[in-house]
Amino acid sequence: MFGSGKGIEMARRWMGWGLVTALWLLPTALPALAQDAAREAATAPATALAETPLAKANARIAVWDLPDVDQLPDDDYGRLVRYGRSVLVATPSHIGPNAADPAMRFAGNNLACANCHLNAGTKKFGLPLIAAAADYPSYSARSGHKATLADRLDGCMTRSMNGRPLPTESKSMRALVAYLELLGKSVPPGGKIVGGGAGRIAELDRPADPVRGAALYKENCAFCHGPDGHGLIRDPEAPALGYGVPPLWGPGSFNDGAGMNRLITIANFVHNNMPNGTSWVMPQIAPEDAWDIGAFVVSQDRPRRAGLDRDFPDLLQKPVDAPYGPYADDFTETQHRFGPFAPIRAALARLKADKGTVPNPNVK
């Protein structure tokens, strides 16, 4: 595959290390840690440097070394990576239900991957993909099997894109993998980054309120996403161009098995990224409001995915906010959907201590 080993090394030689570098440092702790590390390095032997405070801080990588994809050479590898970025940003044009090539119509809606993975997967707390390649292969609690990066991408294809899996050897899949491998070339296997995921705002000690959220949605979100939540298609006569503003529910949205249909994910995403253009540095929507807006969105109708009851062979590994059963605990689906989640976590911890595992009865 072009995206691994030799190809990435070639890109490094081409670009050198003068890459576009995003310096998102731990705001106050890292400078002090750096000073401590410098003092320790002056007296510590080389073998001890791995234990310095700076090394410990960078166990979660704070400096993102982002390659300039446009500076890759115009060869097979460079073209494949750039095509992968294009598939991520302009997904419906390449693999959507109205793509020019009928054989490539794998997505079931006209969403783009970049509708959720903001800035082509490079935005802090915008569900970045910087460490995606470093995360795989790994065990998938949802499937109960070891998963590759391609497997994970197909999870998005069948859930967020409400479609069907991309063939592993298709150009689109190889290109996506190549792009993600290049994005994460400086992240070691299993490495974690500062700014990953959607964030972690404080949880509520009450259920999130979709009724209150409806009023907040009207005030903060409806202008762009529409009162009906169906977004804004760029050209109704050319749906392969995708959305200017993505739908949040309805037939064109992600299905009920998607990660964005979980309250913890969408509430954090709203807080750190919405309205569009907001960042974690200066959020516009208060955490409590983000929880209630998220509750309103996940309470709406959307496409349904068959077989969700077979997700998570070990129910103790199921996320507390999974909005569909079965569950290992006795809490209602409503509480799993809207919270509060602390009592659920406490119950799961007790069950894990007592039983170790709770098999999903629907998995044979």
3-state secondary structure the chain: CCCCCHHHHHHHHHHCCCCCEEECCCCCHHHHHHHHHHHHHHHCCHHHHHHCHHHHHCCEECEEECCCHHHCCCCHHHHHHHHHHHHHHCHHHHHCCCCCCHHHCCCCCCCCHHHCCHHHHCCCCCCCCCCCHHHCCEEECCCCEEECHHHHHHHHHHCCCCCCCCCCCCHHHHHHHHHHHHHCCCCCCCCEECCCCCCCCCCCCCCCCHHHHHHHHHHHCHHHHCCCCCCEECCCCCHHHCEEECCCCCCCCCCCCCHHHCHHHHHHHHHHHCCCCCCCCCCCCCHHHHHHHHHHHHCCCCCCCCCHHHCCCEHHHCCCCCCCCCCCCCCCHHHHHHCCCHHHHHHHHHHHHHHCCCECCCCC
The average confidence (pLDDT) of the chain is 88
Helix 171-183 vs helix 76-89: crossing angle, to nearest 10:
90
Looking at residue 60, what is its pLDDT? 76
C-alpha–C-alpha distance, residues 108 and 363, integer Å:
26
For residue 175, what pLDDT is reported?
Answer: 98
What is the structure's pLDDT at 59?
Answer: 63
pLDDT digits (tens, 9 = 90+) for 127-183: 999 999 999 999 999 999 999 999 999 999 999 999 999 999 999 999 999 999 999
Q: How far apart are CA 274 and CA 255, in angstroms?
A: 21
Asked: is 210-298 a CATH 1.10.760.10 domain? The reply is: yes
The two tokens of residue 40 are: 């320790």
Q: Does domain 69-193 have CATH number 1.10.760.10?
A: yes
Ranges in the chain annotated CATH 1.10.760.10: 69-193, 210-298
Which pair of tokens denotes residue 325? 């059963």
Distance CA 339, CA 320 (A): 9
Amino acid 62: pLDDT: 81
Q: Picking from 24-33, 96-105, 169-178, 284-293, which range would have the lowest pLDDT averaged per residue?
A: 24-33
Who's near 344: CB < 8 A, 6+ residues apart? 320, 329, 331, 335, 336
pLDDT at position 56: 52
pLDDT digits 0-9 by tens, 221-259: 999 999 999 999 999 999 999 999 999 999 999 999 999
**Average pLDDT, integer, range 346-352:** 98
- The whole-number average pLDDT for the span 4-9 is 44
pTM: 0.84
State residue 234's pLDDT score.
97
pLDDT at 25: 32
pLDDT at position 168 is: 97
pLDDT level of residue 101 (50, 70, 90 thresholds) = very high
Beta bridge partners of 61: 193
pLDDT tens for each residue of 12-66: 333 333 333 333 333 333 333 333 333 333 333 333 334 444 445 456 788 888 9
| pLDDT at 63 (0 to 100) | 80
Q: How confident is the model at residue 349 (pLDDT cuts 50, 70, 90)?
A: very high
